[in-house]
Structure 1
Amino acid sequence: MKKIIITLILGFSAMLQAQNKVSGTVTNMANQPIKGVSVYAPELHQGTTTDANGNYILTNLPSRSLKLNFVFVGFSNQNKTIEIRQKENTLNIILEETIFEMDEVIVSTAFNKIQSQNVMKVEHATIKELQQKGTATLIEGLATIPGVSQVSTGTSIGKPVIRGLSGNRVLVYSQGVRMENQQFGDEHGLGLNDAGVESVEVIKGPASLLYGSDALGGVLYFNPEKFADANTFKANFSQKLFSNTLGSNSSLGLKTSTENWKFLARGSYNTHSDYRISGGDRVTNTRYNETDFKTGIGYSNSSFSSVLRYNYNNLDLGIPEDGIAEQSKSKNTGFPRQGVFSHLLSLNSVIYLKNSKLDIDLGYIANDRSEFEDSDVAGLRMKLKTFNYDAKYHLPTLGKLESIFGIQGMHQTNTNFGEEYLIPDATTNDFGVFGTANYEWGNNSAVQAGLRFDNRKITSVENGTVGEEGYFKAIDKSFDSFNASLGYKTNLADDFTLRLNLASGFRAPNLAELTSNGVHEGTNRYEIGNSDLKTEQNVQTDLNLEYKNDHFEFFVNGFYNHINNYIYTSPTGTVLENSDVFNYIQSNAKLYGGEVGLHFHPHPLDWLHYETAFETVTAKKQNGDYLPLIPANNWNNTLRGEFKVKEWLEAGFATFNVNTTFNQDNVSGFETKSNGYTLINLGLGGTVKLGKTVFDVNLNGNNLFDKRYIAHLSRLKTDGIPNIGRNIVLGVNFSI
């Protein structure tokens, strides 16, 4: 027995020694080692940090090309591809100091390039950056990204808008799978909590090539929190307090990793009272409570990497109907209210073959939505269950040509359990197949192209009595679409980049548009669906110009988006159930505009930054009338100072922000014009060191002068209810 045990130990040791590994040293331009550099292999979800001598080591690596990401605050991001062809591999890195934002790896596009190499311009923001702006919710933070805004109902419900398109025209991805939560509804928000989210990527424009139907307007792609470095344990606690809503946001996370196994868990709880407008009144029943739990487990070796994640989200939302009525600081929601339970389970795997690899993403989402009108018995209850699958085969690289072949699909069922019906019981099945390729030449030029075919089949069950409200006839519809994309990137001169993209996208009509027959409380209209609706099909042209040197960065993004068969509601001039009747009809439409901005870092004032960005969208139907729910032009200016105070405050920052929204006079026939406004925001924070205690702190004053205003995309605008007044936010974050 003793000999057997010794033999097993020696054999196990030999197996460990046979594992591929890469090691090296990270230094600065003066050849000095840098401690604490994050070294991360995204495909393996595996990382480490450099020691006091700048050394690092990663083990259990596959025998193929592998991308490594080197990140350290104050230095340029380095993203290197190394060929793992032997057991011992060495990669030494020199990081250069920089004052601009880091060049991040973009996960939402096909080939996972860093942004400077990417053919398509994709906006990237870390959740930490958004939180430092003091916003109360994730969607509020997203709305600070140029080209992104929100349709809001108070502070609790927000729907993302990308360049004027929202609802089912914008896809949301979390944990690598598409979120499905009845997003057709006006009062159905994002359904995600920012706890346990690392960053967000925004594709502004049709992304149907990779994501299929509903990515006609763009994609919000949320990257989940990374696992701990190998052989480490980390704990994190954060707390935010909000003066306006008397709100609290608490989060606790734990994570640990070995060489092969990884585990994390995070729980959070948000609670808010009715929000206060300028002058002191509170908007009745805008209070809400949210419980969120995320966990994940991963395993990786030299043959494959796999991560299983789970997210539970429970939202208790008050729905404002009475405007400014009974004044209360209670956090217990009144009637009417919504209860939304979501379960998201995802499995993301990478299988390494000899000269290629296979990415497989599987997802299951269960969304349970109830609405309570005047009692704890739900009048409306819908359960949406969705299974997603996505498989991409990365073919062997031929020189500088990379190519991917993939299949993607979805099986979805909607079931009603309440007395009220918004949409009928139905089943939706998607299937898509696509191919895309990326070719690089020279040092800075690349072209990317792709082609895709999709089919969506929708079948529903007849319900109700013919001729009465709530009757839904059975439908059996099939929608097909071919889509393509072509992109080109090159450097016109040193530090001057041009990107030009042409892409098509599509969206099949949703159940509400096909089958509606009744009063929609969110819009106070009697809506009648149209089972003869055709697929929306668009073609968008994007032009991006960027110039960047050590002290100056400038960008211009322009787009033109033509949509055939754009679906919208139109009044019939009749009344049913004491509500105006609207039909769903179609017309061609066009949207155009863009964003322009600069980031100036004057020398020798290394601590000072000035950033400015202007965004605009114009949207019209074929007859020249304007489309509804189009955001007003916006000009955002930020002055940021960075500093250090002796040994107790590092990475200190102070920001002064002036955010100007202009008049919105280009409105549809059912909308009213909106006045412009300017909001002043301040921020202060940094990393505090008190002995062995280290924590991040930020203090924000939003709408500092308590400006009274009504946003054009606020759903409370028709009742003349202003948006949130002054809000002081204090946040602390402890890491162990």
Structure 2
Amino acid sequence: MKSILSILLLLAFTASAQTGKITGKLLSEGKAVERASISLAGTAFGAWSDSLGSFMLSRIPAGTYQLRVSCLGYDDAEQQVAVKSNNSLTLCIVLTANDVLLNDVVVTGVSRATQARENPVAIMGISSPAMERTAASDLMDVLARNVPGLHTVKTGPNVSKPSIRGLGYNRVLTLYDGIRQEGQQWGDEHGIEVDAYDINRAEVIKGPASLMYGSDALAGVISLFPYTPDMDDGKLHGKFVSEYQSNNNLVGNGLRIGYNGRKFLFVLRGSYRMANNYRNAIDNRVYNTNFDEKNLSALAGFKTNKGYSHFNFTLYSNLQGIPDGSRDSLTRQFTKQVRERNNDDIKSRPLIPYNELNTYRLSPLHQRIDHYRIYTHHFYQLGKGNVDIIFSLQQNIRREYNHPTMPNQAGMHVRLNTLNYGLRYDAPRLGNMEVTVGINGMLQQNKSIDATDFPIPDYALYDGGAYWYAKWKSGKWGVSGGARYDLRRVQWKDFFVRNNAAAGFDEHVALPDTANAVLQFPAYDKVFKGISASVGFTFQATRDIGLKFNIGRGYRAPNITEMASNGLDPGAHIIYLGNRNFDPEFSLETDLGASARFSNFSAELSLFNNHIQHYIYLTMLADNNGNPITDAQGNKTYQYQQAAAQLYGMEAGFSLNPVKLRGFSFDNNLSVVYGFNKNEIYEGKGEQGAYLPLIPPLKIWSSITQKITTASKWFTSITPKVEVEWAAKQNRFLGLNHTETPTPGYALLHIGLTADIRYYKSRSMQLYIQVMNLLDKVYQSNLSRLKYFEYYNQSPNGHSGMYNMGRNICVKLVLPF
């Protein structure tokens, strides 16, 4: 690694000083366009337009580039520019006003910066303004509200696991700044551990993306990009975010400060969020859904005419309640556990007093998650090509406290260490052809530390893959595709568990001291192999209409809990049983898409059909009478199964933006997916085995906004918004052994107001006021795990499980400086 870095640094500092610059002005309808982003695709060169619409990019190596301009409220502009040595290129670019806020330039899953319409896979970008004006208490929920086909499996307001087209958990790969986000994501109650205020842009690939990333991208990729300074002016810039949400009294504040000079740049970021237990009209305050989250990160980098090197550090720390849903059978008030294991009778637990429900203070039974990450990213021109290198060290520590008589003793305490690596080479363009080759992978080790519950063994994982990707474009046609080969080895030694009579809990013991111990996880060593491939076509029929087609093969090795689990996960309140003989999953997905963008409206349609071999899923175990198999605390037992599966569906979007009604927008999107178990024994059985679990119902979002530009010195614009969220009833569920239950449909009404407030010269801050679930609708999402936290067969009020959040008034202030 040191040799590679030395070569890169030598190349960087001996690079030719023959450079030029680009200056220009942005106009629309004769007026200057400020705060527009100007960038050279595939490079680190970028700038913002000032209050006069002017911009400048300096010290650019001679060559031909693709210059791109993006600004909220305007169509993206793109043109090819030729920079000559010691010359200045002056441009005047006219932008077309458009309140359809589409982020068309994306880079995830391809070799170089590529527009979405030129990418045959279904991919969507979400800008920072779009995320800021979306009210939610979790980043994944924010993205799900902006991307049709993306849903979340929820365990309370701060634990949301992404699901793409009906596939979730380890089938969706999350990237942070191009690096795999590796925590304990195999667990139900394990969320995505990143700072929501730190994310400047996000991209979502829908469909197999194993080609570039390997295992765990079977359903798609969510790529999160933290803020990097792009104003090359040698000045400090920053942003302060503050928000409050009334339902759970969430208070959040985030601050970042960045500098981008001639040679060096840095960023410091920090945030703090805390929330009370959320509430609704049925459950009142939902016990143990509060949280306390802190984040800190830093970036330092230097750049030359040939590229850049970035060095990064992030720290995430979260205290999170662990809801279990135990209640009094008559009053339906929440109760709490005060005794241990067999001494704990769930039907006689004491009621929780109001002061413990209405507080930011977490109960003794909670989880603590710490995630540390140090990584470096290097991108340099190498000859006429580019080389991209990443190297990362991550540590994820999770403690789940589930012992009321010994609150400082963690039930589950695991430490996951991960080393990520990646090397990519973008070969010089050859005519209309671009080719990329690369390798990436990870080394991983997970270990239990002073725990009493052991849902998985201590394991080691070695993963690596090599790929090539090619893209050809000529005229209206584009073709892209590639192939990848992966190897993953998973192993662990015999794992013994013995009861410690003095402490009253189980403990991990190792040979030779295994007297009276149980071999909970016999030794395991297996290598998984996978070939991924894809080929796709794009056709730009006219300037406004585009078509795309893609067929891709994805691969996913079974995760650790699917293979090895054999015990209680205290945070999930589930006893899991795995299968060490599972085969890898392989998917073959076909996608067909069409898009149209006209002056008054735009529309998109994406159809998909996905066949999966060896699909892994969970079913509840029942006794001979059909009753769930539980332990003394009512924790149910689930077992992993494997079968062939098929999922198909569509996403569609339509936006109306009449030119004569400047600022008006009527936006709609729809998503639907159907999932079927193709095991012959379940053919025609309906909910008794024919349907897959965790399939979202038909969902429709509709919103109307009207941007009103004012002559006020302070309030430059006001944008009211009305939004309707409608989810159909879900009758296609896995009801075998009561694994799932049907979910009634619901409709939610949201309203909001955005105000741009000028506070200093040309600088503006944004004030967002939103009321989510205005009518305080009582509902349960089909993908909410809290829906199944119920210990009684009957309820006096006719309601079972816990319900989603009620009315929520959200106020957010975003102050750039």
RMSD over aligned Cα atoms: 2.3
The match for 1:587 among 632, 643, 647 is 643
Query: 1:518 Cα deviation (Å)?
Result: 1.3
Asked if 2 retains the 8 angstrom alpha-carbon contact of 1:287 and 1:331, the reply is: yes
Distance 2:64 2:492 in 1: 48
Query: 1:514 Cα deviation (Å)?
Result: 1.2
Distance 1:431 1:603 in 2: 51
Query: 1:493 Cα deviation (Å)?
Result: 3.7
Q: What code does the residue aligned with 1:390 have? A: G
Asked if 1 retains the 8 angstrom alpha-carbon contact of 2:72 and 2:101, the reply is: no
Asked if 2 retains the 8 angstrom alpha-carbon contact of 1:77 and 1:95, the reply is: no
Alignment of 1:488-507 (within 5 A): 488-507=537-556
- 1:687-729 residue CA offsets vs partner (Å, 9 max, x unmatched): 1125658421010000001001111111110232110000001
Query: 1:65 Cα deviation (Å)?
Result: 4.2
Asked if 1 retains the 8 angstrom alpha-carbon contact of 2:367 and 2:571, the reply is: no
Cα distance change, pair 92–502 in 1 and its aligned pair in 2 (3 A): same
1:8 equivalent in structure 2 = none
Query: 1:17 Cα deviation (Å)?
Result: 11
Alignment of 1:642-661 (within 5 A): 642-647=707-712, 648-661=714-727
Query: 1:102 Cα deviation (Å)?
Result: 4.3
Question: Are 1:134 and 2:215 counterparts?
Answer: no
SS in 2 for 1:122: strand
Cα distance change, pair 598–270 in 1 and its aligned pair in 2 (3 A): same
Alignment of 1:116-265 (within 5 A): 116-144=117-145, 145-230=147-232, 231-265=234-268
Using the size of structure 1 for normalisation, the TM-score is: 0.94
2:307 equivalent in structure 1 = 304
Distance 2:641 2:253 in 1: 45
Distance 1:618 1:550 in 2: 34
Distance 1:594 1:137 in 2: 25
- 1:125-145 residue CA offsets vs partner (Å, 9 max, x unmatched): 124313312222212212212
The match for 1:687 among 756, 768, 785 is 756
| Runs of at least 5 residues in structure 1 that lack an aligned partner in the other structure | 1-14
Distance 1:42 1:722 in 2: 46
- 1:111-163 residue CA offsets vs partner (Å, 9 max, x unmatched): 32122333323111124313312222212212212101111111121111111
Deviates further, 565-574 or 651-660: 565-574
The match for 2:664 among 605, 608, 620 is 608
The match for 1:675 among 744, 749, 773 is 744
Query: 1:278 Cα deviation (Å)?
Result: 2.2
Distance 2:210 2:31 in 1: 47
Cα distance change, pair 518–74 in 1 and its aligned pair in 2 (3 A): closer
Alignment of 1:240-389 (within 5 A): 240-278=243-281, 281-321=284-324, 322=326, 324-325=333-334, 326=352, 327=354, 328-373=357-402, 374=404, 375-389=407-421
Query: 1:94 Cα deviation (Å)?
Result: 1.8
2:106 equivalent in structure 1 = 106
SS in 2 for 1:464: strand
Distance 1:707 1:35 in 2: 41
Asked if 1 retains the 8 angstrom alpha-carbon contact of 2:411 and 2:570, the reply is: no
1:531 equivalent in structure 2 = 580
Distance 1:462 1:65 in 2: 59
Distance 1:220 1:688 in 2: 32
Query: 1:66 Cα deviation (Å)?
Result: 3.8
2:22 equivalent in structure 1 = 23
Distance 2:132 2:114 in 1: 26
1:557 equivalent in structure 2 = 606
Q: What code does the residue aligned with 1:635 have? A: I
The match for 1:721 among 785, 802, 815 is 802
Question: Are 1:441 and 2:470 counterparts?
Answer: no
SS in 2 for 1:210: helix
Cα distance change, pair 197–301 in 1 and its aligned pair in 2 (3 A): same
Cα distance change, pair 438–245 in 1 and its aligned pair in 2 (3 A): same
Asked if 2 retains the 8 angstrom alpha-carbon contact of 1:421 and 1:470, the reply is: no
Cα distance change, pair 577–121 in 1 and its aligned pair in 2 (3 A): closer
Question: Are 1:702 and 2:758 counterparts?
Answer: no
Distance 1:348 1:16 in 2: 19
1:569 equivalent in structure 2 = 618
- 1:66-106 residue CA offsets vs partner (Å, 9 max, x unmatched): 44332233332223444445232525242321312244321
Query: 1:300 Cα deviation (Å)?
Result: 1.0
Distance 2:398 2:291 in 1: 15
Deviates further, 689-698 or 213-222: 689-698
Asked if 2 retains the 8 angstrom alpha-carbon contact of 1:384 and 1:412, the reply is: yes
Query: 1:36 Cα deviation (Å)?
Result: 4.5
Query: 1:33 Cα deviation (Å)?
Result: 5.7
| Runs of at least 5 residues in structure 2 that lack an aligned partner in the other structure | 1-13, 328-332, 335-351, 498-513, 624-628, 684-689, 791-800
Distance 1:35 1:572 in 2: 61
Asked if 2 retains the 8 angstrom alpha-carbon contact of 1:499 and 1:545, the reply is: yes
2:728 equivalent in structure 1 = 662
Deviates further, 710-719 or 264-273: 710-719
Asked if 1 retains the 8 angstrom alpha-carbon contact of 2:38 and 2:67, the reply is: yes
SS in 2 for 1:116: helix
Deviates further, 642-651 or 352-361: 642-651
Using the size of structure 2 for normalisation, the TM-score is: 0.85
Distance 2:178 2:238 in 1: 24
Query: 1:35 Cα deviation (Å)?
Result: 4.8
Distance 1:550 1:98 in 2: 10
2:349 equivalent in structure 1 = none
Distance 2:813 2:621 in 1: 54
Distance 1:260 1:652 in 2: 40
The total of aligned residue pairs comes to: 721
Query: 1:25 Cα deviation (Å)?
Result: 1.6
1:453 equivalent in structure 2 = 485
Asked if 1 retains the 8 angstrom alpha-carbon contact of 2:122 and 2:207, the reply is: no
Cα distance change, pair 616–542 in 1 and its aligned pair in 2 (3 A): same
Query: 1:224 Cα deviation (Å)?
Result: 1.3
The match for 1:628 among 669, 693, 703 is 693
Query: 1:532 Cα deviation (Å)?
Result: 1.1
Cα distance change, pair 426–552 in 1 and its aligned pair in 2 (3 A): same
Query: 1:603 Cα deviation (Å)?
Result: 3.9
Distance 2:650 2:577 in 1: 34
Cα distance change, pair 76–486 in 1 and its aligned pair in 2 (3 A): same
Question: Are 1:420 and 2:485 counterparts?
Answer: no
2:702 equivalent in structure 1 = 637
Distance 1:226 1:362 in 2: 18
Q: What code does the residue aligned with 1:433 have? A: A
Cα distance change, pair 51–611 in 1 and its aligned pair in 2 (3 A): closer
Asked if 2 retains the 8 angstrom alpha-carbon contact of 1:275 and 1:724, the reply is: yes
The match for 1:482 among 518, 531, 539 is 531
2:464 equivalent in structure 1 = 431
Indicate the percent of aligned positions where both proteins have the same amino acid.
27
Distance 2:36 2:76 in 1: 10
Query: 1:544 Cα deviation (Å)?
Result: 0.7
Asked if 2 retains the 8 angstrom alpha-carbon contact of 1:44 and 1:300, the reply is: no
Q: What code does the residue aligned with 1:101 have? A: L
Distance 2:189 2:492 in 1: 23
SS in 1 for 2:130: helix
Query: 1:348 Cα deviation (Å)?
Result: 1.5
Q: What code does the residue aligned with 2:775 have? A: F
1:541 equivalent in structure 2 = 590
